[in-house]
Structure 1
Amino acid sequence: MADAVIEQIKQRVDIIELLSEYLKLQKAGSNWRALCPFHHENSPSFMVSQDKQIWHCFGCDKGGDIFTFLQEIEGVDFPEALRLLAQRANVTLTQYNPSAQEKKQLLLDLVSKAQKFYTQALQESKEAESARQYIQQRGLSAESIAAFGIGYSYDDWSRLKDYLTSQGAPEANLIEAGLVINHYDRFRGRLMIPLHDANGTIVGFTARTLKRDEPGGKYINSPQSIIYDKSQVVFGLWRAKAAIRKLNAALVVEGNLDAITAQQHGFTNAVATSGTAFTAGQLLQLKRYSPNLLLAFDLDVAGEQAAERGIDLALQYNMNIKIVRWPSQYKDPDECIRADAAAFMAAIRQAISIMDYWFWHAQQGLQLERVEHKKVLVQRLLPKLKKVADTVEVSHYLQKLADLVRVDAGLLQEQLNKLKDGKSNVMRLPSAISHQPSATRMDRSTRLVEHILGLVLTMPEQFAYARDYLDSAFIADSTLVELYRRMLDQYNKSGQFAEDAADVALVGKLRLQVDHDFPDSSIADRQAALVRAIQELRKRYIEQRLRDLQVELKQAEANSDDTLMNQLVDEVKLLTQQLTELSR
């Protein structure tokens, strides 16, 4: 039954409509193309077939259907992708309920009910007057309050628990959802700000105190659970991700309310980290939409130390970081935006790279005509350069530092190399965002076979030529040789090839590759490409066979097997003649 539901969703969700929300697709023959969101590239190698409802990138070799795309782009597992696409297709998942997913949905439902309870309290309760006054002081509009689902938790030990248990919710589930602790409501007398995942699902809360002497800190968050992982949540991303992709940058502020204010005033790409410390999970989520970060943090000594680890991670993930420096008369971005949004926009336009910021900051209080101050500057900046992954950027700033302290850049490079000895600080990038295309590591002969089969599939009239000149022995890949043999069998019987269900994904990929490699070519150009590919494949096969024959000849000679030696010599002569003809 699960397969039937999946097929129903595929029929209702068009792959072009879905992918167009994430990518700028352009027509390419009968298919579509775009820059791949999963690796860096300058020319589009990401192809989509509307007919087959599949996609494939010929740069990083990722591919699949609407489910695999959503899993890759949103960083979710299959059950979550299934749930999201089912919602989009208006399909009820009554037949797909593994126990873990069932429990997760149960807790999500409880958190959603709690949010509605908190919202109603904010709107209707006299007790929530202090929360309403605080919201007014922060300048939040009614539209922002509604959009983010802000509410109020009663200053009562069990108001929420009593409400939800009266509706049949076991207390044990309320504890698992992070709503109850030690038989009492976790959040009491606080402004409730829902935390959403990247898809807009409420997974928890951050609760701000409304009292000056409140124990437990200004903010308390939902605890870690199967529905809420703090290290994976970027506040406001669910509303900002389209703008981040469009503007090709994420504006990152410290506080959740700061992000709401920023979005309210037109900075729609604003998100918050709930502090200055990034996690790897948060960075990877942001990088799905843009590698560029605009940090609007207060980078005083304490702030810079807190932000340093996250900035280090971002640099290691090859992200581009700029520092937004708002006018000094405002204490933070929130105050600046509310007082003078135009000034904050100007600050964004004038943002400087993190390395330029570090260079400026490191020079404060130094007199660079003094040798000891030059040494201090080098000691401050080399560890920063050590964290940068891009070699061109490192070279640029090494030269800049060399110019400042008036020494040879080579000497600084030697010192930097010494810092890099031992355990490297550069982390290996996860495959989902790796900039090293796996396709470049594919065997050339296998790539040629894919070219040939793809061209024949798009030009069936050329199959007779391929049959006469493409021997299955030339094909090393077992999947491709099996497909070619089925093509041969069907062509010899009926004069055409009809793919079966097992061939859909592979055949679709091969057809996409032709549109990718020959986007505007004529039939004659494709025919010529087919001839060249088969000739090169034959040549590579013969060259490899000749190398193998040399080994076999030595073995036959060692065994004094004259008969085998004569046979092998004859084969060498024949193949050498064929190779000479191919090379003309």
Structure 2
Amino acid sequence: MISKATIDQVYETARLEEVIGDFVQLRKSGSNFKGLSPFTDERTPSFMVSPVKQIWKDFSSGKGGNVVAFLMEHEHFTYPEAIKYLAKKYNIEVEETERTDEQKQEANERESMYLVSEFAQRHFSEMLWDTELGKAIGLTYFKERGFTDDTIKKFGLGYCLNQWDGFTKAALDKGYRLDYLEKTGLTIVKENANDSSNPKTFDRFKARVMFPIHSMSGRVLGFGGRILTNDKKAAKYLNSPESAIYHKSKVLYGIYFAKQAIAKEDNCYLVEGYTDVIQLYQRGIQNVVSSSGTALTPEQIRLINRLTKNITVLFDGDAAGLRASLRGIDLILEQGMNVKVCSFPEGEDPDSFAKDNELEEVAAYLEQNSKDFIQFKAHLLAREAANDPIKRADTVRDIVNSIAKIPDAIKREIYIQECAHIMNVSEAVLFSTLAQIGKKEITDAAKEQTQRQKAFEVVKNEASVEKVDVQYELERKIIEMLLLYGDKEEAFEDLVLKENDQGNLELEPESVVAKVYEKIYLDLQEDEIELANAHFREIYYKLIEELNANEDFSINSFMTELDQETISEISSILMEEEKYRLHNWERKDIYPKGKKTGVAQLVSETILTLRCFLIKKRMASLQKNTQEETESDNRETLEEIMNYLNLNKLLNQKLNRVLS
């Protein structure tokens, strides 16, 4: 268990905007930060971070919470993992008691798989540095590639010995379970024909140098292993199979090491292999990632899109699969990103070029030779088409198809003009072709929309119109006021019901100074009002208790004791208004009054409105009763209704409302 002192120190030290900034590119928006949702595919930022409140809200998915909630949602951490991650980031020593064997067994499957993968990384690293074979084979290979000791250690590179089950035995001896070794793909398990209770086990990565694949937060998800022998039957590179923690299509090699540089440089270099990433990083080009030999996927592109809108794809000088790579560029364009392409001289690749040149030369080459994708694609395909008119026509159509993927109309027009110039074709023809492609897409989309509309009409006819739940909204507002202003002292104008000289009831104002939470609590107590929503009621009593016990109330500290569902609810309450807030009004000489300047009025009006709502609700109930009562009982009920009507009238006058 992690000590409370450590947890408190982590919450006090961690800065939400810094932590989320490691995963999402955030831009200043008034007093807050905005970015693209890391949970959904969106092009308009709806993910908001409040440094003041230390909470975040993702309006596209509905998720929200504090810094720990983000790590639990984004990285699928457990609560202790999130605390440890933050402690490591901010150099906080973690005080905890040793977990028992029983607690280790209770760890969930994902966590167990992470632990197995992290043990494997340490084991392979030890084999590389501490065994004769590891040093002679694995370390020599890495040194020949030009990697320094620091680079090898930073990327966690290792070596799996040329033994059938050396790693598996080492893991089992350390207490790791065989089923998790099999689920992560580190061990291959086969039935033993002679003894079914004692299966045969084999190390998947036997005799290979190892490249750990990290998540964006630095956890080991899987491995890539390269064989060093000339065994024609064995694949040169072997990756971990898909598992509960490793999905190839959603992972980019090097993203953990590159994320800060990508956000800082506002550009990401995309290469093909592990060694390309490592060599460029070692040379000083740190904003580089790889799709690890797999075809680029939309999920991988969106991973980059959180950090930057700009991708530069680096190709080998003699890349055989260049056309296949160009299809990956179309995927990038569909995501609304800006794409440049840079190819290296004949016989060179990013690895060799970075190894043989200094940082200044590599940086200069990338800057001077990175071409806009249309220029690159047009020149490349034009060379292939040569003087063949049919091939030239296909080439032009291919390029226009790529341009059609771009969401931005202005960019499309500029690219059409550029393509017309390069391919020596009239703009009119290209625009016509683009329109035909667009028309087909619109027709297809219209058909799909018609089908959806028909389905929607069925649902629409069956569904009733949803009404606003007034009481829910008012109770939500009470929670918001307690969170934001609960500990603030304000001068309130209280209303006391008194009889005037004519014998009529009147509301007379009386001034009272009190803290906001005291005023709300006493008013609700006086009217014997209890919040109807069970979740709000639970938060309400916790807030009143916390505000009464601690003079130095802080939202961040309050949320440390809550469950994730409640934290998410609180973040939704506090961040909802940020979605619609306008900034920089002062630049137009408009000076809106801040909410804090009218807290007392806000509290009084909210409580009065809730009273009015409950009075109307009570009157409706009484009117229903009159239909079921006898005439004598009816008289008393009608008298009660009249009293409520008069009270409702007085309250609405105070609220400056006209009753119909």
- After TM superposition, the score normalised by the length of structure 1 is 0.68
The residue that corresponds to 1:509 in the other structure is: 575
Residue 441 of structure 2 corresponds to which residue in structure 1? Answer: 420
Superposed CA deviations along residues 52-73 of structure 1, whole A, max 9, x for unmatched, are 432347899874322444466x
2:153 aligns with: 146
Deviates more, 1:374-383 or 1:137-146: 374-383
The aligned counterpart of 1:110 is 116
- Rounded Cα–Cα distance in structure 1 between residues aligned with 2:179 and 2:58: 46
Structure 2 gap ranges (5+): 88-93, 191-200, 450-466, 495-516, 528-538, 544-568, 603-657
Pair 1:224 & 2:242 matched: yes
Number of the residue aligned with 2:642: none
Partner of 2:380: 361
Letter aligned with residue 234 of structure 1: L
2:348 is aligned with 1:331 = yes
Displacement after TM superposition at 1:159 (Å):
1.2
Letter of the 2:379 partner, please give it: W
- C-alpha displacement at 1:48, in angstroms? 1.1
Residues 407 and 109 of structure 1: CA distance in aligned 2, closer, same or farther (over 3 Å): closer
The change in CA–CA distance for 1:134 and 1:405 in structure 2 (over 3 A counts) is: same
Counterpart for residue 276 of structure 2: 258
Give SS of 1:258's match. helix
* Equivalences for residues 479-498 of structure 1 within 5 A: none
Q: Give the match for residue 526 of structure 1.
A: 593
Cα distance in 1, alignment partners of residues 177 and 241 from structure 2: 18
8 Å CA contact 2:318–2:347 kept in 1: the answer is no
The answer on whether the counterparts of 1:54 and 1:64 sit within 8 Å (CA) in structure 2 is: yes
Map 1:136-535; keep pairs closer than 5 Å: 136-181=143-188, 182=190, 183-275=201-293, 277-298=295-316, 302-326=320-344, 328-340=345-357, 341-350=359-368, 351-366=370-385, 375-402=393-420, 404-408=424-428, 410-420=431-441, 423=444, 505=571, 508-509=574-575, 517=583, 525-526=592-593
Deviation at 1:19, TM superposition (A): 4.4
Using the TM superposition, give the Cα deviation of residue 419 of structure 1 relative to its aligned residue in structure 2, in angstroms.
4.9
Pair 489,515 (structure 1): closer, same or farther in 2 beyond 3 Å: farther
* Distance in 2 between residues matched to 1:278 and 1:352, nearest whole Å: 20
Instruction: Give how far 1:247 is off.
Output: 0.8
Deviations 1:103-146 (A, max 9, x none): 22222222222222222221232223122222122100000111
Verify the 8 A CA contact 2:159 2:207 in the aligned structure 1: yes
Equivalent residue number for residue 193 of structure 2: none
2:130 paired residue number? 124
CA–CA distance in 1 between the matches of 2:520 and 2:317?
64
Contact 1:37 1:288 in 2 (8 A): yes
CA deviations on 1:189-235 (whole Å, 9 max, x unpaired) are 11111111111111221111111225221111111222222222211
Alpha carbons 1:49, 1:512 under 8 Å: kept: no
Structure 2 CA distance for partners of 1:255 and 1:371, relative to 1, 3 Å: closer
Counterpart contact for 1:259–1:271, Cα < 8 Å: yes
Aligned to 1:76: 75
Instruction: Give the conservation status (yes or no) of the 8 Å contact 1:198–1:237.
Output: yes
- CA drift at 1:405: 0.7
Q: Is 1:54 the counterpart of 2:55 in the alignment?
A: yes
Q: One-letter code of the match for 2:593?
A: R
> Mean alpha-carbon deviation: is it higher for 244-253 or for 401-410?
401-410
Is 123-132 or 193-202 further displaced after alignment? 123-132
Pairing 1:88–2:86 present: yes
Please state how far the C-alpha of 1:376 moved relative to its aligned partner: 3.8
- Would you say the 8 A contact 1:189–1:210 is kept in 2? yes
CA distance in 2, matches of 1:422, 1:27: 38
Other-structure match for 1:475 = none
Aligned mates of 2:294, 2:266 — CA distance in 1: 21
Aligned equivalents of 1:513, 1:99: Cα separation in 2: 44
Query: Which amino acid is 2:157 matched to?
Result: I
Which SS does the other structure have where 1:157 is aligned?
coil
Check whether the contact 1:293–1:321 (CA below 8 A) recurs between aligned residues: yes
CA RMSD of aligned residues (A): 5.0
1:466-490, CA deviations, whole angstroms, 9 ceiling, x for partnerless residues? xxxxxxxxxxxxxxxxx9x979956
Q: Which amino acid counterpart does residue 32 of structure 2 have in structure 1?
A: R
Is the 1:45–1:516 Cα contact (8 Å) retained in structure 2? no
User: Quick check: 1:294–1:348 contact (8 Å CA) kept in 2?
Assistant: no
1:501–1:106 distance in 2 versus 1, CA, 3 Å: same
Q: Distance in 1 between matches of 2:204 and 2:434?
A: 54
Question: Cα offset for 1:413?
Answer: 3.4
Could you tell me whether the CA contact under 8 Å between 1:251 and 1:294 is conserved in 2?
yes
Post-superposition shift, 1:269?
0.9
**1:24-43 superposed matches below 5 A:** 32-38=31-37
**Aligned to 1:155, what secondary structure does the other structure show?**
coil
Asked if the contact 2:296–2:328 (Cα under 8 Å) also holds between the matched residues in 1, the reply is: yes
Assess if the C-alpha contact under 8 Å between 1:110 and 1:174 holds in 2: yes
Distance 1:300 1:500, change over 3 A: farther
**Higher mean C-alpha displacement, 312-321 vs 372-381:** 372-381
- CA separation in 1, counterparts of 2:383 and 2:228? 39
Q: What SS is found at the alignment partner of 2:343?
A: coil
Cα distance change on mapping 1:98 and 1:283 into 2, 3 Å: farther
Measured after TM superposition, the shift of residue 371 of structure 1 is 6.8
Structure 2 CA distance for aligned equivalents of residues 130 and 204 of structure 1: 22
Structure 1 residues 176 and 137: alpha-carbon distance in aligned structure 2, compared to 1, 3 A threshold: same
Displacement of 1:511: 7.4
Cα distance in 1 between the residues matched to 2:338 and 2:240: 31
Return closer, same or farther for 1:423/1:529 CA change in 2, 3 Å cut-off: farther
2:274 touches 2:290 (CA, 8 Å); kept in 1?
yes
Give, in whole Å, the separation in 2 of the partners of 1:487 and 1:284. Answer: 47
Contact 1:297 1:303 in 2 (8 A): no
What is the CA-CA distance between 1:501 and the residue it aligns to?
5.1
SS at match of 1:525: coil
In 2, are the aligned partners of 1:258 and 1:333 still within 8 Å (CA)? yes
TM-score, with length taken from structure 2:
0.61
Change (3 A) 1:98 1:185: closer
Structure-2 separation of matches of 1:313 and 1:416: 17
Amino acid paired to 2:574: G
SS in 2 for 1:252: strand
- Counterpart code for 1:83: E
**Alpha-carbon distance in 1 for matches of 2:259, 2:594:** 44
Deviation at 1:280, TM superposition (A): 2.5
Distance 1:259 1:100, change over 3 A: farther
Structure 2: how far apart are the matches of 1:113 and 1:411?
Answer: 59
Q: How far, CA to CA, are the matches of 1:150 and 1:143 in structure 2?
A: 11
| Alignment partners' CA distance in 2, 1:339 and 1:309 | 30
Letter in 2 for 1:152: Y
Counterpart Cα distance in 2 of 1:71 and 1:287: 21
What amino acid is the match of 2:373?
A: I
Higher alpha-carbon Rg = 2
> What is the alpha-carbon distance in structure 1 between the residues aligned to residue 404 and residue 28 of structure 2?
40
Residues 184, 243 of structure 2: 8 Å contact kept: yes
Distance (whole Å) between structure 1 residues aligned to residue 58 and residue 170 of structure 2: 51
